[in-house]
Every structure is written in structure tokens, then in C-alpha cells.
A and B are shown apart, each in its own frame.
Chain A
């Protein structure tokens, strides 16, 4: 069986590839990549490093023609995957683009996973109408059944080693809503700063930088945190038209910077569209997604909470 998509590429194709063994992984992906290269399609493979090496070995010299990226680095924060893939697609206008994207792997933490699932769901609206295929491998043997059920809800198509079918469970909006989970429990020792006016930004930024340094964040990441904290609070002042409470703490593995305001985030794709040169409106969330190792969001009619995580160890 030829496991590639049909020759008629005029719409977005987004299958979940459920594999159970290394052999199935290669059987599903190598033809998809090779056929793309043979057709002259731009191909990008964004998967965890060990999987990248398996594909490299199987593809041989043609691997050099594939844009290869380690997902555990580039996509550590799932919130920055869509902008980078859109950017890749935009650099090949008028061409059918093939992407292999594996943002979920065994080892993703419980804190990371909701952002991964929302990312997968939002891919559908982000690429709707584009001439692109994004194939997302899922390790059906290593991931828990709930994750595989989510994959069936976030992908309109399912490809397995021996069959392909439309997903009867496809319901991406429900996944976005389900993982819009309240973010409680910032620790009692979190440092808090109320940003009620633009002049509050500078002193809060300095205090947050000092706190993060004391908590072990390296200097170059402290600079990123200063930008994250400022962009979070600026977003509240500009878009929520109200104050922002910034909280900073360490959870042992990450420095967490949280912004709370009373605005509601109505655009689920905010922070996931690449900036257009002509568009000078706020790009704060895009900045935060790029700088942080993970971004979690909870929005409701009562307000919005955004947490940015910066890995310390």
C-alpha cells in the first residue's frame, strides 16, 4: 500500500499516525517523506532527537534534503510550534508542504500535556485551507490511552500501519475547552507584584530579575524572564484594560512567572500567528511563547491566567 496522501493536494491534511513499534514508525513515515522529496515538496520533520536519528538512518543521503528539527528543543513549548511551521510554509509559497510533527511523546509531563493537546487541536484552525499535510506520529504503545483518545479528537484522520480512516471522535474545540484548566496553587512564598500602571513595570521587572537570579536562573534566561514578565503585564494593561498581578516562584524544576488579569482571552490563536511585517499591534504572547519553555493558559469570563515556565534544571 502506498501510505502517502492522494495526489490532489488542495487542502489541509492532518492525520494522527498511531504506531506501536519502531518498524511501524518507519513504515508510516519513510514513504511519506520520500514521496514528498520525489515530488519536490518542501519537507520538515520535527520529532524528538532519537526518532530523528532513526529516520536519518532509514532515509540515508536523502535525509539531507529534509528540514530536520529536534522537537524536544524547538517544540519544548508547544505554543511556539504553530508559528514556526507557518513560517516554514510561508517560505515556500505556492508549494505543497509536508510536515512530520511529533509534539507528544512518552515523558511529556502532566504540566506540559494540556498545552500539547491544545496545540494539536489548534493546528486544525491555524492551517485550515492551506496546501499542507501535517502528519503527527503518536506512540500508541508508550502513551496512555487517554492521550491516544485525545489524538483521535484533535486529528480528522487516523493512519495506522494497516489502515487509514476518518476519526469518528474528531472534536478539536472540545479538547481546547477541556484543557482550559484552572491554574490554582501558586505557592505561599511566590513573590507578588501588582502592575496597575505602566510606571509599575520597571520596579517590578527589577525585583523579578533579582528574585529569579537568587532562585538560580542563569543570567541570559533572567533577561528572557524580564521580557516575559513585562510583556505579560503590558498585555493586561493594553488589552484587558486593567491591572495585572505578576507572581514568580520556583517549582523545583522551573522558574514560573504568572500573570493574572480580569480580561478574557477570546482568540485561542493569540500568540500563535507569526508576526506580519506590516502589523505593529501587540505581539506580546508570541514573544512569550518563543521565550518560555512552556506556557499554560486559563481563561474565563472572570479573567485570564498565563503561566510561563523557564527551565532551571
Chain B
């Protein structure tokens, strides 16, 4: 590859608040990175962002999973084989050596910001 990759971390505007689906997930694309975004209006924090790639099923589907509370922790259940991933840090509850990347995420007025290495 001839391109020189410049890495910098900054807050990016990825979508609008109205693009989100309350109590559920959607997916955004930043560069090559698919990011699953969960919006839980009744919880604190309200926003969560983890890798959309399910490494067990080998498919980009995490954002389509069901939000489930397991032993007091908020998780998303993979829609394919139902493993639970912690929304705050992407840790898989069933397989201790599997952890999805997680990203800082916040509202900025009507927009959703994500902090990501580019």
C-alpha cells in the first residue's frame, strides 16, 4: 500500500438523534469500521457504541441484537448465536477471551458524536 495512514483520535459526528431507534440498536459506518449504536432513553448513560462485527458468527449483526439485562449489566444478545456482549465495554459474557471494541459516544444537541481512531 502506498498511502500513508495518519492516525488521530477525535470526536466525529456520525448521525442525528432521529436516526436512532429507542431501546434498540442501529449501525453506522466510519471508515471501514462498522459501529453498533444503542439508544436506551431510560438508562444512564443513554448511548453505547461497540463493534458491529460478531466474531463468533463472522457477520456484522451486533447492532440488530436484543438489549438484555444479565445480572444487573446491560448487554446485547447476538442475533445469530445469542452470546451476550456488555454494552459499556464489549466484553463477551460467555467467552472471557472475546471482547468487542467499544467507543466513547455522546449527544451533541441533535447529533451523535463518536470518538474513534482514524
Partners in one complex: no
